[in-house]
Amino acid sequence: MFSGIVETMGTVAELRQEGPGVRLVIRCPQIATRAKIGASVSVNGCCLTVVACDGQDMEFDAGEETLSRTNLGRLDVAHQVNLERSLEIGDELGGHFVTGHIDGQGYLDERIDDEEWSKFWFRMPKPLGMQMASKGSIAIDGVSLTLVDVEEERFSIALIPHTLKVTTLGALTTGDPVNLETDVLAKYVEKQLAGQKGGE
């Protein structure tokens, strides 16, 4: 479980094809010095397991399913990614509960910059709209954010200068893909309502 508060950005140091998947090597001494094999790390919002680390780099195995359903399949050497270690009991929850299981991909539809501030509009798969509400939470590439406007197939968020600077969101341009995870509570509410509707 994660909070959606990105600790830092890492850089893709190497991509090695291994069977149907990829060995993803992320350079980030800030986290790698404390990482342990078997630990969970959110990489652009995807929960991945550390399979090797040397104090400078962390290695992860990303399978075919993960590569096809997330933007990890579009990464290349030198790309930056958002990183967050899993929560420990007693940690402060500054964002919202993020599982690291991606619900779908969206893409940046419109970017409106106002000096150092920005408003982003994202396109998303239509079914995800049922799990979104204005002032609710969403994780975009692992970043916990508050929804502003929600339409049938797109939504907006407002980004402060700090978030634009310390996450990969600041470098996004129109058309760039992002990983989306809706609020886990919204999923349960939708399922409950669907069950009630089916029983009527």
Q: Which domain holds residue 148?
A: 104-199
Amino acid code (one letter) for 53 = C
Q: Which CATH number does the domain housing residue 59 bear?
A: 2.40.30.20
Report whether 171 contacts 11 (CB < 8 A): no
Residue the block writes with tokens 């508060």: 5
pLDDT of residue 66: 95
Residues 155, 113 within the same domain = yes
Is 94 among the domain residues?
no
pLDDT of residue 193: 74
Residue the block writes with tokens 């290349």: 76
**Stretch 124-137: mean pLDDT, rounded?**
93
Residues 40, 72 within the same domain = yes
Residues 119, 185 within the same domain = yes
Query: What's the token pair of residue 88?
Result: 């420990």
Residues 136, 50 within the same domain = no
Query: What's the token pair of residue 62?
Result: 């990303």
pLDDT tens digits, 21-79 = 999 999 999 999 999 999 999 999 999 999 999 999 999 999 999 999 999 999 999 99
SS3 content of the chain, % helix, strand, coil (to 5): 25, 45, 35
pLDDT of residue 95: 81
Residue 88 has pLDDT above 90, yes or no: no
Residues 134, 63 within the same domain = no
Is 80 among the domain residues?
yes
**Stretch 120-129: mean pLDDT, rounded?**
96
How many structural domains compose the chain? 2
